[in-house]
Homo-oligomer: A and B are copies of this chain.
Amino acid sequence: MRPVQGPSIREFGENRIVARFRSLASAALRNDVLVGPGDDAAVLMLGDGPRLLLACDMMVEGTHFRLEWATPWQIGWKAMVQNLSDIAAMGGDPSWAVASLAASGDAAERAVEGIAEGLIAAASRHGAALVGGDVVGSPGPLVVDVAITGSVEKENLLLRSGAQPGDAVLVTGSLGVSAAGLAARQRGLPQAEDAADAALAEALRAHHEPRPRLVEARSIADTRLATAMMDLSDGLAEDLPRLCAASGVGARVLADEIPIARPCSALAGRLGLDALDLAITGGEDYELLLTCPRDRVEQVRAAVSDAAGTPVTPIGDVVAEEEQVVLVDSGGRSRPLGSGFDHFAVPSAVPEQGDSPSAKNF
């Protein structure tokens, strides 16, 4: 058998690979698959009860984490949180997870145990349970893959595809703090003098120990007012165009309305980066991106505030598909959002850690 020839993934483009995966898988679905590849989780029919949700997310050493930057516990925690966030994005409650771990024989036993502890801690903290898994030997980097199930009442299900022109675009919390933490790691912060630096500590913590917005998502779903939702795992510049594509709409986002996280603003200058760019292009905030009719914004904000105390900020409007997905700055100039987003940040600021894990979900 000859080694497989042909163009490499690099040449071919990973987005095309994912599109191909999706199209192959979608052609072979069962009748009980209500939503297949392409949303944050698959939606599956189990009788007349709540829908079952199923998703997975993989993290690879060298691409998504480094053992010099994160503790094993943090790696496990984050691997689980990514998956919990996928369930949140559908308006659901997480239930059971399984995890597979590939490690070389030279990997420290304490590292593997720490990852297990982080996985379990994140699951338990959010009402889920790790119910099984697989540990395999590998000649390569550490790999942690989690698959998770959740449930959602039919009426609470939120997809990426329901946004309509006239809706408002909203985000929970604030953006850019995880990206600021990553940039700090890449630039060798913390230095000794940063030990008492609260902004830095908060950014690092947000990057390594993110929280899924489960309570917020549930309160949004319970209002039954939102029209579309997803989680911000790859940054607004990439994720909003995805939501718009799924809904067949465009969007106008106002740069001045984007809630930039305080640690992001506080650190940007020291990092030589633009805070707004970090907030727009940085991934792994795991905030929720949603749409709802403009006259329902205050009801949604009140529901989330009551349930979780978390702010929800309108950042723009859903428009017709022809108007594309654009960011409008304070001077009224608009730039298209998307994976080729023309940002001001130093180009190496975020891409060094490579693919945000959800970037290639199918």
Which of chain B's residues have a CB closer than 8 A to the CB of A230?
A: none
- A205 interfacial by beta-carbon distance below 8 Å: no
Which of chain B's residues have a CB closer than 8 A to the CB of A11?
A: 109
- A345 interfacial by beta-carbon distance below 8 Å: no
B108 A44 Cβ-Cβ under 8 A = no
- A311 interfacial by beta-carbon distance below 8 Å: no
| Per-residue contact bits, chain A 254-268, to B (CB 8 Å; 1 contact, 0 not) | 000000000000000
The residues in A between 101 and 159 inclusive whose CB is less than 8 angstroms from any CB of B are 101-114, 116-117, 120, 123-124, 127-141, 143, 145, 147, 149
Beyond A9-B107, A132-B362, A136-B60, whether A95 also contacts B32 by CB under 8 A is yes
A131 B25 Cβ-Cβ under 8 A = yes
Beyond A9-B107, A106-B9, whether A98 also contacts B54 by CB under 8 A is yes
Measured CA separation A28–B37 after assembly (Å): 31
B109 A9 Cβ-Cβ under 8 A = yes
Chain B's closest residue to A62 (CB) is: B139
The residues in A between 1 and 29 inclusive whose CB is less than 8 angstroms from any CB of B are 1, 3-12, 14, 16-18, 20-21, 24-25, 28-29
A interface vs B, CB < 8 Å?
A: 1, 3-12, 14, 16-18, 20-21, 24-25, 28-30, 32-33, 36-38, 41-42, 44, 46-47, 49, 52, 54-64, 67-72, 95-96, 98-114, 116-117, 120, 123-124, 127-141, 143, 145, 147, 149, 354-355, 357-358, 360-362
* Most chain B CB inside 10 Å of its own CB: which residue of A1, A145, A362: A145
Measured CA separation A69–B67 after assembly (Å): 33
Which of chain B's residues have a CB closer than 8 A to the CB of A106?
A: 8-10
Which of chain B's residues have a CB closer than 8 A to the CB of A112?
A: 9, 17
Which of chain B's residues have a CB closer than 8 A to the CB of A20?
A: 113, 116
Chain B's closest residue to A124 (CB) is: B28
Chain B's closest residue to A136 (CB) is: B58
19 A-B pairs within 8 Å (CB atoms) are namely A3-B67, A9-B103, A9-B108, A20-B116, A25-B131, A25-B133, A30-B95, A37-B133, A42-B98, A49-B49, A52-B96, A60-B136, A60-B139, A63-B102, A63-B138, A100-B145, A134-B357, A136-B355, A143-B143
User: What are the 4 tightest A-B residue pairs by CB atom distance, in nearest-first order?
Assistant: A140-B140, A147-B147, A10-B105, A42-B131
Chain B's closest residue to A37 (CB) is: B132
Measured CA separation A63–B29 after assembly (Å): 31
Q: Which of B4, B7, B42, B72 is in CB contact (< 8 Å) with A132?
A: B42
Measured CA separation A317–B61 after assembly (Å): 47
Chain B's closest residue to A151 (CB) is: B46
